[in-house]
């Protein structure tokens, strides 16, 4: 639904109609109360205007039933607002499984986005309509925030860890995105455009885009060899460290008995702080690569490790927790 009045941006994502409906609901409640209070005050102000200079008002000290009423009714309305907002938010914070993943890096004062096939964009983001898109956000310096008003979504980009956000574009077009966490001098210039395309156009754009940027999986595979990861993480499980076949997204059994999901954050942590979580039955041998890899290189390695999902998992020599019946 295109907004006829200039009161809200275009609705271009799955969240936009939900957020707008929520806004209208809360606006209705607020307008009602604001109008009611205003009308009553104005009426009282004129109706009870002092008639004689020495007149006093009539004392009413209070009324517990009224107090209860105007505590309980607002409380109920407040819980309704809270509840509906919570539902939308929980959906937003719970990324679906089948997403198109784009890695986004923020730095003072520009955005770099990397598509799954390796194509890089600066201050632009191309996405296909109707597809769940997940952005993995990393910062190279201070806190930024990726905000797309037409999608009604934003998420802070915090240095030191990943944040993710998701949305499903519903309408082709070009929409502003802004940095919306003050980040220094050119904070206001750190903006760009999200281009939502029909799936065929998006596919064409992906393959036709000039520059032939290296597929991150290929770049990651090169790095994996260059940085000697492969000397320990032997694919057939015979190395000093677990094979990484099939590990992405699986449950990993740790030395202390707990399990953890091998997601992007886990992989990043394993590269930068390898001794934070040791896989069961393995020694803490891995050196840290803190300061030796850029965020983009970490993304590339992650993409490569993700590509190993479909590789055969060795019977011995993987860190994956045995299935417990339920995944």
Partner 1 sequence: MSNTPPAPDNELPDTHYLNATYGSGIRSWLLTTDHKRIALLYLASVTVFFFIGGVLATMIRIHLLTPTGALVTPETYNKLFTMHGVAMIFFFLIPSIPAVLGNFLIPLMIGAKDLAFPKVNLLSWYIYILGGSFVLYSFGTGGLDTGWTFYTPLSSVYSNSAVTPAVIGIFINGFSSILTGLNFIVTIHTMRAPGMTWFRLPLFAWAHYATSLVMILGTPVVAITLLLVGLERIFHLGFFNPALGGDPILFQHLFWFYSHPAVYIMILPAMGVVSEIIPTFARKPIFGYAFIAGSSIAIAVIGFLVWAHHMFVTGESTYAALTFSFLSYLVAIPSAVKVFNWTSTLYKGSISWDPPMIYALGFIGLFVIGGLTGLFLACLGLDIHIHDTYFVVAHFHYIMVGGAVMGYVGGLHFWWPKITGRLYPESLSRAAAVVLFIGFNLTFFPQFILGYLGMPRRYHTYPPEFQVLNVLSTAGASILALGYLLPMLYLTWSMRYGKVAGQNPWPATGLEWKTDSPPPTENFHVTPEVTWEPYDYQNRPDLGLAAGAKPLAPAHGDD
Partner 2 sequence: MHRTGDLYGQFQTLEQQKETATLGMWIFLVTEVLFFGGLFLTYTINRSAFSTAFGIGSNTLDITLGGGNTVVLIMSSLTMAMAVWSAQVGKKKLVGIFLIATLGLGTVFLGVKAIEYKQKFDHHLVPGRGFDMKYHPTHPMPGDDPKELALEKKEVEEAFAHDPDINAHAQLYFSLYFGMTGLHALHMIVGAGLLIWLIRGSFRGRFTPQYNNPVEIVGLYWHFVDIVWIYLFPLLYLIDRHR
Backbone angles phi, psi at 197, to 5 degrees: -125, 155
Q: Does residue 184 bind partner 2 (CB under 8 A)?
A: no
Q: Does residue 56 bind partner 1 (CB under 8 A)?
A: yes
Site for partner 1 in 60-119 (CB under 8 A): 60-67, 70-71, 74-75, 78-79, 81-82, 84-90, 92-94, 108
Q: Which residues contact 209 (CB under 8 A, 6 or more apart)?
A: 119
- The item of partner 2, partner 1, none sharing an interface with residue 288, based on CB under 5 to 8 Å by kind, is partner 2
Q: Which residue has 């399990």 as its token pair?
A: 259
Among 40, 204, 225, 276, binds partner 1 (CB under 8 A): 40
Q: Toward partner 1, which CB reaches closer, 272 or 280?
A: 272
Q: Does residue 258 bind partner 1 (CB under 8 A)?
A: no
Q: Does residue 37 bind partner 1 (CB under 8 A)?
A: yes
Among 110, 123, 124, 158, binds partner 1 (CB under 8 A): 158
Site for partner 2 in 246-285 (CB under 8 A): 273, 275, 284
Q: Which residues contact 281 (CB under 8 A, 6 or more apart)?
A: 255
- The item of partner 1, partner 2, none sharing an interface with residue 287, based on CB under 5 to 8 Å by kind, is partner 2
Q: Is residue 304 within 8 Å of 221, Cβ to Cβ? A: yes
Backbone angles phi, psi at 146, to 5 degrees: -100, 115
Count of residues of this chain found to bind partner 1 when the rule CB under 8 A is applied: 89
Least CB distance to partner 2 at residue 275 (A): 5
Local structure of 32: helix, strand or coil: helix
Please work out, in degrees rounded to the nearest 5, the angle formed at the alpha carbon of residue 165 by the alpha carbons of 93 and 129. Answer: 115
Please work out, in degrees rounded to the nearest 5, the angle formed at the alpha carbon of residue 81 by the alpha carbons of 75 and 85. Answer: 145
Site for partner 2 in 278-307 (CB under 8 A): 284, 287-288, 290
Least CB distance to partner 1 at residue 1 (A): 15
Least CB distance to partner 1 at residue 168 (A): 15
Q: Is residue 19 within 8 Å of 152, Cβ to Cβ? A: yes
Handedness of CA 83, 87, 90, 92 (dihedral sign): negative
Site for partner 1 in 169-208 (CB under 8 A): 176, 178-189
- The item of partner 1, partner 2, none sharing an interface with residue 8, based on CB under 5 to 8 Å by kind, is partner 1
Backbone angles phi, psi at 78, to 5 degrees: -60, -40
Cα atoms in the 13 Å half-sphere on the side-chain side of 188: 1
Q: Does residue 27 bind partner 2 (CB under 8 A)?
A: no
Q: Toward partner 2, which CB reaches closer, 292 or 294?
A: 292
Q: In 3D, which of 202, 200, 187 has the Cα closest to residue 125?
A: 202
Q: Which residues contribute to the site for partner 2 (CB under 8 A)?
A: 273, 275, 284, 287-288, 290
């Amino acid at each position: 639904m295109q907004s006829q009045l200039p009161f809200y941006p275009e609705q271009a994502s799955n969240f936009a109609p939900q957020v707008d409906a929520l806004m209208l609901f809360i606006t209705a409640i607020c307008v009602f109360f604001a109008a009611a209070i205003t009308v009553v005050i104005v009426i009282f102000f004129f109706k009870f205007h002092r008639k004689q200079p020495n007149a006093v008002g009539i004392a009413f000290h209070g009324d517990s039933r009224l107090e209860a009423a105007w505590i309980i009714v607002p409380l109920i309305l407040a819980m309704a607002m809270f509840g509906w907002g919570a539902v939308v938010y929980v959906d937003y914070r719970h990324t679906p499984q089948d997403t198109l993943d784009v890695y986004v890096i923020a730095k003072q004062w520009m955005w770099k986005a990397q598509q799954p096939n390796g194509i890089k964009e600066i201050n632009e983001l191309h996405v296909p309509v109707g597809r769940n898109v997940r952005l993995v956000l990393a910062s190279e310096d201070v806190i930024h925030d990726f905000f797309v008003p037409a999608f009604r979504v934003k998420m802070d980009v915090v240095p030191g860890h990943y944040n993710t956000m998701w949305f499903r574009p519903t309408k082709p077009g070009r929409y502003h995105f802004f940095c919306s966490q003050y980040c220094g001098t050119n904070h206001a210039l750190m903006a760009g455009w999200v281009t939502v395309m029909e799936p065929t156009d998006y596919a064409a754009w992906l393959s036709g885009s000039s520059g032939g940027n290296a597929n991150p999986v290929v770049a990651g595979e090169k790095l994996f060899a260059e940085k000697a990861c492969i000397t320990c993480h032997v694919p057939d499980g015979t190395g000093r460290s677990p094979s990484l076949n099939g590990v992405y997204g699986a449950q990993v059994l740790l030395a202390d008995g707990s399990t953890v999901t091998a997601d992007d954050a886990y992989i990043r942590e394993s590269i930068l702080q390898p001794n934070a979580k040791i896989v069961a039955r393995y020694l803490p041998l891995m050196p840290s690569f803190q300061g030796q890899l850029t965020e983009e290189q970490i993304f590339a390695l992650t993409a490569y490790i993700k590509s190993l999902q479909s590789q055969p998992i060795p019977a011995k020599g993987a860190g994956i927790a045995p299935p417990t019946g339920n995944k």
